[in-house]
Structure 1
Amino acid sequence: MAMPTLEPIQDGDLLAFCQFLTEHLSSERSAEQWAQAFQQNWGVAKPNNGFLIRDEGKIVGGIGAIYAERIIRGQAERFCNITSWCVLEAFRSQSMRLAMAVVSQPGFHFTDLTPTEVVSKTLQFLKFKPMNERHALWPNIPWPFAQLGGIRVLTDYDAIEGTLAPADAKVFHDHRHLPWLRHLAVGKPGAYCLVTWKPNRLKGVPGALVLGFSDPELFLTYRPTIGSYFLQHGYFYTRAESRLLPRLPKLSHELAGYRNKVFRSDTLTESDISNFYSEIVGLNQ
């Protein structure tokens, strides 16, 4: 019997691969919904959409890859975000071929931000590093002093893009079309912070899950204003990954027990790894 073939997922193969994901990984998304995450124009000429394995012409496994370029400390950095690693039981012995094909590509930093426990441990064997999995949560309380300091909250998307610094405006521009994300800019002229979030519930209580922000220090500085805005709109707490914060804010409580996101890079640290430009934002989680 011939060994199953390994090949890159080109755009012409993408819908078939995504149909495989719908049938064998999660039927909650259609093939078209899966494909949307791989079709973003995020600043880099993607070499593929990941890799797949065929047996006698039939897809029996695959691993997705989402590519993007980000500016970190003034330097353009290229990322490959691994996602949706799925192999049929009879072909599990071929799984590592997929992972090795992805991480053997030169010139990228690699991440997996939604790994299962098995995938996380497997990638750590390939020199991926686990990140802090805890989430910080704090109550949103009224804050009537924002206007006294000239601090504003902008929610009009054109106003947000026109107010942010150029690098932050690009991040917003690259994500503003995704309907399940919500964005605001908070601050004052010359010191605005982009905040990307979506509604969340814990034990039935509505809150705001912050996925990312453009400046961690400004985010903490403006935290009372942001929390007051969320509260006015019916969200009673703010929640964010602890690893994204320079320190835990006052009145916060850490939640543990989440899966470790992982990354592999020779030059970047955990604090450089963002949820932007990944399946975290590219798919409606």
Structure 2
Amino acid sequence: MTGTQVPARPIVVPIGEAEAPEAAEFLHRHLNPRISPQRWLAVLAPPWADGPNRGFALLSGGSVVGVYAAIYSTRTRRGATFGVCNLAAFCVLEPYRAHSLRLVRALLGQKDLVFTDLSPSGNVPAMNERLGFSTLPSATRLMVCLPRIGGGARLTEAPDVIARTLSGPDAGVFADHHDAAAARHLVVQDGERYAYLVYRRDRRKRLPLFASPLYVGGDPVVLESNWGAVASHLLRRGYVGVLAERRVLGFTPRGWGFEVRHPRPKMFKGASDPEDIDYLYSELTLLEW
């Protein structure tokens, strides 16, 4: 294409099952080549398989030139049930960047949904603010994982033990996420009580050595009182630190650590209370990068 050529106006189409493989290949080639098309396809077809589409694509001449992938779920908070659309991955080829907002509007134009954007980067946070998104409280303390011997609690990541232990909403979370590629599951048992931690492996300074909690179920007091044992467990699995968000854990862990000066933003639109937003059913549970 020469500098004087103007690309034809692309069309916006929903991504369905038939379009998902081409959208996954596009994200592999143009957004993050380290992530295979198969892994992108898993994001476009999550284990819980909920939603009217898998996002929207820009097509020009029959070829994909832009993708905004979306992950849908149905959630219940404080007795109310509502749909969530998680904005998962956004990429448009440079000649078509002027049409980027058409993808955004196609997604946000869907009615009666809460929207989340849990890993925005580049100029997306500023764009989201202009579109009415709010930023979730994200105070984060990097807690160093230290070795520890002993302790009365039992810790397990064995799927069969976890499935037998969890009850109520926690059992549903595990059923939906036990095949989610980025979700790790840990249960802490203390007598008859348990705490359930879902976390992911994250990179800082390109080093994949950090655990990021995504969800806490059961009794958070069990997790807090056994934090030393949890940190030691994670250290044995190759994590040097935990990126501990208070809004996720419900407490600030004791131990050696420091405040993260610029935690990565997480944003939402359409919910009246930030407490209604968590990090499940999203790219954070489906995709490592």
After TM superposition, the score normalised by the length of structure 1 is 0.86
Match of 2:28 among 22, 29, 42: 22
Q: Does 1:250 align with 2:254?
A: yes
Counterpart Cα distance in 2 of 1:67 and 1:240: 26
Q: Is the 8 A contact 2:47 2:180 kept in 1?
A: no
Q: CA deviation at 1:77?
A: 3.0
Q: SS at 2:9's partner residue? A: coil
8 A Cα contact 1:211 1:240, kept in partner:
no
Q: Spell out the pairing of 1:100-115 with structure 2 (5 A cutoff).
A: 100-115=105-120
Identify the match of residue 41 of structure 2 among 32, 35, 40.
Answer: 35
> Residue in 1 aligned with 2:227?
223
SS in 2 for 1:192: strand
User: Within the alignment, does 1:69 sit opposite 2:56 as a pair?
Assistant: no
Out of 257, 277, 282, the position equivalent to 1:278 is 282
| Other-structure match for 2:9 | 3
Instruction: Check whether the contact 2:70–2:85 (CA below 8 A) recurs between aligned residues.
Output: yes
1-side partners of 2:145 and 2:10: how far apart? Answer: 54
1:171 matched residue in structure 2: 173
Deviations 1:80-131 (CA, angstroms, capped at 9, x unpaired): 1112211111111111111111011112110111111311111111111112
2:100 matched to which residue of 1?
Answer: 95
| Residues 109 and 213 of structure 1: CA distance in aligned 2, closer, same or farther (over 3 Å) | same
Distance 1:245 1:282 in 2: 20
Conserved? CA contact 2:182–2:201, under 8 Å: no
- 1:118 equivalent in structure 2: 123
Q: Cα deviation per residue 1:152-178 (whole Å; 9 max; x = unaligned)?
A: 212221111111122101111211123
Q: Aligned partner of 1:195: which letter?
A: L
* Change in CA separation of 1:235 and 1:260 when aligned onto 2, cut-off 3 Å: closer
The answer (yes or no) to whether the contact 2:85–2:114 under 8 Å persists in 1 is: yes
1:214 and 2:217 aligned: yes
Describe the SS at the equivalent of 2:232: helix
Change (3 A) 1:89 1:235: closer
**Range that drifts further, 3-12 or 214-223:** 214-223
Q: How far off is 1:12 after superposition?
A: 0.5
Kept in 1: contact 2:71–2:86 (CA 8 A): yes
**Identical columns (%):** 30
What are the Cα deviations for residues 211-245 of structure 1, in whole angstroms up to 9, with x where unaligned?
33225833323323312333455544332234424
After superposition, the Cα gap between the structure-2 partners of 1:15 and 1:234, relative to the gap in structure 1 and judged at 3 Å, is closer
Q: Secondary structure at the match of 2:64?
A: strand
Distance in 2 between residues matched to 1:43 and 1:72, nearest whole Å: 20
Which of 135, 143, 146 aligns to 2:140? It is 135
With normalisation by structure 2, the TM-score equals: 0.85
Provide the C-alpha distance between the structure 2 equivalents of 1:66 and 1:73, rounded to a whole number of angstroms. 22
Using the TM superposition, give the Cα deviation of residue 146 of structure 1 relative to its aligned residue in structure 2, in angstroms.
Answer: 3.4
Match of 1:49 among 48, 54, 58: 54
CA distance in 1, matches of 2:218, 2:278: 12
- In structure 2, distance between residues paired with 1:10 and 1:131: 30
Could you say what the CA RMSD is over the residues aligned between the two structures, in angstroms? 2.6
Distance 2:149 2:142 in 1: 21
User: What are the Cα deviations for residues 182-234 of structure 1, in whole angstroms up to 9, with x where unaligned?
Assistant: 21111335532211234557677955333332258333233233123334555
- How many residues are matched? 280
